[in-house]
Amino acid sequence: MNKEPIILIGGGGHCRSVIDVIEAQGQYEIFGVLDMPDKVGTKVLGYPIIGSDTEKELKEFKEQCPNFLVTVGQVKSAQLRKRIFHRIKVVGGQLPIIISPKAQVSIHASVEEGTVIHHFVMLNASAKVGANCIINSGALIEHDGVIGDHCHISTNSVINGAARVGEGTMVGSNACMLPLSSLPENSMLAASSILTQAVVEPGIYLGHPAKLYKNE
């Protein structure tokens, strides 16, 4: 089986995790990695850093490889991932969906372009995941859960039935959103916190139950 080439943008720790998923999936061959200019010539898990993510270089690389993936991590803000995503769209690049073979994704769930579903994720029926998301190892998104674009659902977090996560938001490791709860855009639910209700003010939510800790 011939594998399609793909270019990864961002060569840090999250990139290494994504490489592991891509290798396990077996559908794409990593053409190279884009990062800061001073890193060109080095390698990430054996894959060469071949350039940076300027619009000019993206256009040039697209002639050889139409597929790109944002592999910059996301903790405090989604802005960098958003910028790279939109830059790829401007040059006409494609953003495949990457799903680990170790994940369990319902045929009745939906996942949009540029999203990576990591190992041991469970995505249940009628769940919806937007574009350019990180659904990290061991996360559970229950039936009818909705994840907006450019979100990071971190390791072992739980998004219960019909809970909603706004665009650009992060749910930290081991955090839990109860059924029908929701987080607004550009917010964060801190690690191990429990959100029990729908909240509307953007910011960092922390505790058991989670309360607004800091406005964004």
CA angle 116, 173, 119 (to 5 degrees): 35
Task: Dump pLDDT digits (tens) for 92-144.
Answer: 999 999 999 999 999 999 999 999 999 999 999 999 999 999 999 999 999 99
pLDDT of residue 1: 61
pLDDT band at 33 (very low <50, low <70, confident <90, very high): very high
Torsion of the alpha carbons at 104, 154, 167 and 19, rounded to the nearest 10: -70
Domains of the chain: 4-90 (3.40.50.20), 98-207 (2.160.10.10)
Mean pLDDT of the chain: 96
C-alpha 9/C-alpha 85 separation (Å) is 10
C-alpha 68/C-alpha 101 separation (Å) is 20
pTM as predicted: 0.96
Q: Report the SS3 class of residue 39.
A: helix
pLDDT band at 214 (very low <50, low <70, confident <90, very high): confident
